[in-house]
Amino acid sequence: MSEFQALSEAVLKGDIKTAVAETQAAMDAGANIQDILDTGLIATMDEVGDRFSKGIIFVPQMLRSAKTMQECMKLITPLFQKGGVTSKGKVLIGTVKGDLHDIGKNLVLMMMEGAGFTITDLGVDVTPEKFAQKTQEIEPDIVAMSALLSTTMPSMPLTIEALQNAGVRDKVKIMIGGAPVTDKYAQEIKADAYASDAGSAVTKAKSLMGIS
C-alpha cells in the first residue's frame, strides 16, 4: 500500500481535501486507475469496514470515510466509461414502499461504492413495480432492499413477487436489511442474503458475486 499510503491514510481519517488531492496527484503521475481504486480506495474502505465491525470506529467516522471515498470516486468514475476501471458488479438499491428512511440505505450505498460496485439508487418509498421496472431496464447483479419499519417489511416479499412476475427474479441476487429485518425473515421470503449493517452488506455482496 506504500504507493498510495497518503491517500489511504486520508480516507481512513476522513480528510476529503487531502484524499482528493492525492487521487489527482496519482492520476497526474500516470498511476494505473485500477490500482488507485483497488489499492488506494477499496482496500482502505475494507479496512474501514473491518474497524467498524470490531467496534474500533463508529457510524460517524465510517460515514466520513465513505464520503471521502465518494469524492475521490468523482475523479475516477468518468474513466469507467473509457474501460479504465472494472466494476465489481451492478447493484440496484432502495428503501421499500411506505418507508421514508434513507440513512442506513445511504451508508450501505457509500460502502458498496467504496468496495467497487456500481450503484443505482432508487431512493425511498420505492414500489415493487418500480424495483421490477428498473431491474428490467439496467439488469443489475444485485437488488438491495432496506426497511426501517416493521410495518413496511411486507413490501419486501411483494417486491420479490414483482420481480418474479417480470421474469427477472432468477437473473438477480436479492439482499435485504434494516433494523427490524432478520436473517430468518430473509430465508422466509426467499431472499438470497441478509446484511445487519453496512460493513456486512459489502461482505455479503462480494459473496453473492463470488469475489473475495
How confident is the model over 16-30, as pLDDT tens digits? 999 999 999 999 999
Q: Helix, strand, or coil here: 174?
A: strand
Amino acid 155 reads: S
pLDDT in tens, 112-148: 988 889 999 999 999 999 999 999 999 999 999 999 9
Which of residues 57, 79, 101 is at a domain's end? 79
Given a cut of 70, whether residue 199 has pLDDT beyond it is yes
59 and 111 in a single domain? The answer is no
Q: What is the CATH number of the domain that holds 74?
A: 1.10.1240.10
Polymer length in residues for the chain? 212
* Residue 74: all three cell numbers together: 468523482
45 and 109 in a single domain? The answer is no
Q: What is the CATH number of the domain that holds 173?
A: 3.40.50.280
166 in a structural domain: yes
Which of residues 59, 79, 99 is at a domain's end? 79
103 and 67 in a single domain? The answer is no
pLDDT (mean) for 58-71: 91
147 and 56 in a single domain? The answer is no
Q: Domain tally for the chain?
A: 2
Mean pLDDT in the chain? 92
111 and 66 in a single domain? The answer is no
196 in a structural domain: yes
Amino acid 172 reads: V
CA distances from 26 to 38, 40, 45, 49 (A): 13, 10, 18, 24
84 in a structural domain: no
Q: Helix, strand, or coil here: 189?
A: coil
38 in a structural domain: yes
The rounded Cα 65 to chain-centroid distance in angstroms is: 14
Q: What is the pLDDT, as a whole number, of residue 158?
A: 98
Given a cut of 50, whether residue 1 has pLDDT beyond it is no
How far is the C-alpha of 72 from the C-alpha of 36, rounded, in Å?
10
Q: What is the pLDDT, as a whole number, of residue 188?
A: 98
Given a cut of 70, whether residue 82 has pLDDT beyond it is no
SS3 sequence of 167-208 = CCHHHCEEEEECCCCCHHHHHHCCCCEEECCHHHHHHHHHHH
Given a cut of 70, whether residue 76 has pLDDT beyond it is yes
Domain that holds residue 19: 2-79
204 and 153 in a single domain? The answer is yes
